[in-house]
């Protein structure tokens, strides 16, 4: 009897394992894919509410600001396949898929503690095809509005000094908001041969933004600083002749030969 009971347990265990293996394997529940939310900005014809937000932000920009003693002047040359934020051209600029080389200048000033905005940053870039200037004002304590940017662009058929002296009108206004999508108003042209959208209702906003850009172009002395700094970038980017080239030049251009007559 004692030998039969272990055999019974062995047979029972085998039957249990056989039944368990015959059951279909339970697949884990499919993982839910994260939802992707896409916000489409209507940059050509913003709504009436968005127009009010743009008008309110522009009206809060100080026309005669008090700057602190802190400031920044930076310059450089960037080889870019895709421009960073402060070098991106607006909709009216001609873009190319090929990597471009842009010379740029950036100016920054800080406002006094009483101002709504903490800093103002002005940047100018020239990639040989387009010249773009952008004014960005950062809010000190962002609750709804984070920053305001105003941009204009022109073809690089002329010099930077000429563009700055002409006071090109603003072509793009952007509000970056805290926890919300941005609000953008841009100059638009007809696409695929279609008619140009009627933007006459937004001319007061463009005119106000152009006035702010012109004012800060003067306050930051951009008309003189930008051409001077771009000239320094061009001079630093040119390759100086090495010692080998100088020696080769002397070999090909020997100096006068002294002839001693007896």
> Residue 259 domain-assigned?
no
> Residue 15 domain-assigned?
no
pTM for the structure as a whole: 0.71
Domain range for 157: 53-189+200-236
How many domains in the chain? 1
What does DSSP say about strands 130-139 and 183-186: parallel, antiparallel, or unpaired?
unpaired
Asked if residue 23 has pLDDT above 90, the reply is no
> Residue 248 domain-assigned?
no
Sign (positive or negative) of CA dihedral 225, 227, 230, 231: negative
Asked if residue 48 has pLDDT above 90, the reply is yes
> Residue 241 domain-assigned?
no
> Residue 243 domain-assigned?
no
Asked if residue 130 has pLDDT above 80, the reply is yes
Alpha-carbon span 196 to 188, nearest angstrom: 7
Alpha-carbon span 246 to 252, nearest angstrom: 10
Positions of E strands within 81-213: 100-111, 117-126, 130-139, 145-155, 172-177, 183-186
> Residue 253 domain-assigned?
no
> Residue 12 domain-assigned?
no
Element (H, E) at 67: strand 67-80
> Residue 107 domain-assigned?
yes
């Amino acid at each position: 009897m004692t030998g039969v009971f272990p055999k019974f347990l062995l047979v029972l265990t085998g039957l249990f394992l056989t039944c368990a293996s015959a059951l279909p394997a339970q697949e884990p529940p499919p993982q839910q894919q994260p939802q992707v939310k896409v916000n489409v900005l209507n940059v050509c014809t913003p709504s009436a509410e968005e127009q009010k937000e743009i008008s309110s932000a522009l009206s809060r920009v100080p026309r005669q600001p008090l700057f602190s003693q802190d400031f920044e002047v930076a310059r450089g040359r960037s080889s870019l396949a895709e421009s960073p934020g402060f070098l991106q051209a607006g909709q009216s600029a001609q873009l190319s898929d090929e990597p471009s080389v842009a010379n740029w200048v950036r100016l920054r000033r800080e406002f006094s503690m009483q101002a709504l905005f903490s800093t103002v940053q002005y940047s100018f870039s020239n990639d040989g095809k387009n010249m773009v200037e952008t004014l960005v004002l950062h809010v000190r304590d962002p609750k709804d509005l984070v920053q305001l940017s105003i941009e204009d662009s022109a073809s690089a058929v002329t010099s930077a000094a000429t563009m700055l002296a002409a006071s090109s009108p603003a072509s793009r206004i952007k509000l970056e908001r805290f926890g919300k999508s941005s609000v953008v108003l841009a100059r638009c042209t007809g696409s695929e041969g279609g008619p140009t959208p009627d933007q006459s209702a937004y001319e007061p906003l463009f005119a106000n933004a152009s006035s702010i850009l012109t004012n800060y172009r003067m306050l930051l002395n951009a008309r003189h600083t930008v051409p001077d700094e771009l000239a320094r970038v061009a001079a630093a980017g040119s390759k100086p002749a090495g010692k080998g080239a100088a020696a080769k030049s002397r070999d090909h251009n020997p100096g006068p030969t002294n002839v001693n007559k007896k």
